[in-house]
Structure 1
């Protein structure tokens, strides 16, 4: 029998990202009936780059003109490969080519997710983290900094997020035994991964996709992003250490004290390292593969097709090492690949469907009449009179708000970058700054939004209600947003390219 409580719970449940996306598509379709299409002329870039991906020409802000004829809006259903409202899912997912959005990005996400699925299936990452915990837990002055740094690297290098749930389960009893609490556990795991994710210089699931859509070289601007990652990670580490020290001195001051006390009597501390030479070899293979990727991007101008193939190769090599080392069978390696790809299938589908919004609005070509161009023109008109610093900050604010509804990094990049990247041209900011606003707005708000499945999973693992977490984390969120705002101002000051 359905209880009143369960009915109320269902009533306040946040809508799924696909539901939100559907209504965004509905608004886009209605916009084609209300907003006239327009077009721009392009300013060709200097022909000096030998990159495999030529930078996109910038829009001439003064060249906007409305189309002479009204298109009449998109139909509900179109034939012959046309664009209609109910065609957006298929047309969006098959649009583009192997060099970019949408089909190229979707396959890139699936192959890369599969490769990381094999890596996680081997257990080498888990064993490595447990080994670090085992070696540092008796040296408490380095225990929390090492964990925070490691999880931040996980978020920066391969988009670690949902994986933090398992480590919350593992670490919570240890944290309680050392005198800390559930909140400290979430800080050193999930929050650390999201700080790394938001400030990454090479994450294939957010920065690579955003830069690809923006038409700028992959992983460009890494020097500034490395500095940002270091500063944010240092701040997060110091915040966590200060909080942990206060909780250890006054355990009753913890918001999770009651549930932690109950858990202390139920959990038995058991953290034993199983890290061995095979784990070392698997991780060395992985990091050698990352070095190969960095070399390919910087020296050979590799792009999405090559990157996807590189990650696929890394997955095969890791599987080979694990199979020869009798860690798993060939079929288990295949299962790991399928599981990793399956976990990212929703993100890949959102990327394709988000492309459908662009198609409904008439496409992303500045030279062809579209509603998107008209929206760009009027958005730029609102922001043009504002200082560049304020415009950049507003980009950050907009991306932060959007992430509440679309918490997938890949999906948010596909949804917002077609508008934000050319908008930055119109208001005089670099597209690199637009990508930075996306990164920071997308990643940092994952620490607080209830629409993040990974956050809710981590809170559930340590029996911490989201309302209690909100009561604690809002101060940290304000600090992170203040740092992100300062970062945007610095990016504008140095003309980050």
Structure 2
């Protein structure tokens, strides 16, 4: 597959071409009232019945054509990335979301540099040896929490290398390893209430309060995590009773021949490690409190996580965690922020495509409004429940082409958010459809580098994985569909 940035550029070319064939149109806005966490709130949305094409003085349709380049702050094909990157304000897309991503990435980069998270997982592995009944569910829950809180995914590859030999020696197989590491992170990623690289970005782009709907999503995360644990434990018990029934029994011979070296890799747990974990936990609780009690938005949330990184840097330097100095903390912050540079560019460039189509203002004549009207006309004949479900199906399919959560949010949410208004679906449900569709399909799509890397270190062929995972992904699809439909029917907003 082409890189996501290349896909966005081709979409930019297509958007430019469309401006020559689709006339500009406008919508009127209306205020709607809804309940959120027991509080009555008001939101301005599109009035789908108010659409009209723009005309000039002669009564001819207006075409807002876009050229190769535009000066004076205008939008053109070759300057849409820059205009997209600098658009908006600190309160939302694109510049606010981009800065939010960089600060969050840098802060968690400092946390990871201390080695406390890695050490904690390795200590857990050692302490649960001989307690197989706890080993699988505790690991699954821990990795799911990592996916939910800070978007853990690629990190599962390193842990799979350590856990796979141990899992096989306990009588399980490498498939169980993939389930408790990578799959668990994606369960948490998809059902998260605060993932800064998925839910927070999508909500920021959709124009709804960041981390809103948290109570619903926490319950959802618990539910999906329990489903994953039960499925994995059932499978693991069957393999332990009959190891030869495993689809990977032959390839697992490699791990059965390895010596257990996990003990040698565990560093001593210190007071500093405890303080780091307490800081992360306290920050999470504090941010949740701020969002619920004081309606914190992007600037405030970013500042709290930056404070977390600052405190963790001091703890790491004082206790010399992982040999850490303040200079190391600064480097870790820059590296963490650097990891977010690529998805940040995607967010900005995707916003640039939106600007080519006329921007997101419903009251200004634009090609985007005309496209939304046509799409709304297609789904207006469908029940709004079906529209909500189709959003989930669309995100699930689209994830095959763009596996980056932030990249997918940048590409799809600018279109789906106003389309949700037209279809009678809340933007919160649109974000829910996005996160579930994006996260769960990461478990099977071969375009996911993290999945293929985890399967590679566990010596599992993708075809074998699909043969095993078919029922599980089918179960997740059915449950996710029920969650999206249920959220819409109950007025989740």
Contact 1:56–1:215, Cα closer than 8 Å, also in 2: no
TM-fit CA distance, 1:47 = 12
Residue aligning to 1:5: none
TM-fit CA distance, 1:56 = 4.5
TM-fit CA distance, 1:374 = 0.9
Residue aligning to 2:6: 19
Return the TM-score normalized by structure 1.
0.93
Q: 2:111 aligns with which of 119, 122, 127?
A: 119
Residue aligning to 1:70: 62
Output the CA distance in 1 between the equivalents of 2:457 and 2:332. Answer: 23
TM-fit CA distance, 1:192 = 0.6
Q: 1:357 aligns with which of 353, 362, 365?
A: 353
Residue aligning to 2:19: 32
The 5-angstrom pairing of residues 88-487 of structure 1 reads 88-271=80-263, 273-274=266-267, 275-327=269-321, 328-487=324-483
TM-fit CA distance, 1:137 = 2.4
Which sections of structure 2, spanning at least 5 residues, go unmatched? 56-60
Q: 1:47 to 1:462 in 2, by over 3 A?
A: closer
Per-residue Cα deviation, 1:88-131 (whole angstroms, up to 9, x for no partner): 21111111111111111111111100100110010100111111
Output the CA distance in 2 between the equivalents of 1:393 and 1:242. Answer: 30
Output the CA distance in 2 between the equivalents of 1:451 and 1:347. Answer: 17
Contact 1:36–1:374, Cα closer than 8 Å, also in 2: yes
Q: 2:490 aligns with which of 484, 489, 494?
A: 494
Secondary structure (helix, strand or coil) at the match of 1:83 reads coil
Per-residue Cα deviation, 1:172-222 (whole angstroms, up to 9, x for no partner): 111111121111111001111111111111112211121222222222222
Which sections of structure 1, spanning at least 5 residues, go unmatched? 1-13
Output the CA distance in 2 between the equivalents of 1:255 and 1:342. Answer: 39
Output the CA distance in 2 between the equivalents of 1:374 and 1:72. Answer: 12
Output the CA distance in 1 between the equivalents of 2:88 and 2:367. Answer: 19
TM-fit CA distance, 1:48 = 11
Output the CA distance in 2 between the equivalents of 1:46 and 1:253. Answer: 56
Pick which of 144-153 and 473-482 moved more: 473-482
Contact 1:55–1:215, Cα closer than 8 Å, also in 2: no
Secondary structure (helix, strand or coil) at the match of 1:117 reads helix
Return the TM-score normalized by structure 2.
0.94
Contact 2:32–2:42, Cα closer than 8 Å, also in 1: yes
Secondary structure (helix, strand or coil) at the match of 2:200 reads helix
Output the CA distance in 2 between the equivalents of 1:340 and 1:300. Answer: 28
Contact 1:174–1:269, Cα closer than 8 Å, also in 2: no
Q: 1:176 to 1:97 in 2, by over 3 A?
A: same
Contact 1:111–1:312, Cα closer than 8 Å, also in 2: yes
Secondary structure (helix, strand or coil) at the match of 1:319 reads helix
Instruction: Count residues with an aligned counterpart.
Output: 480
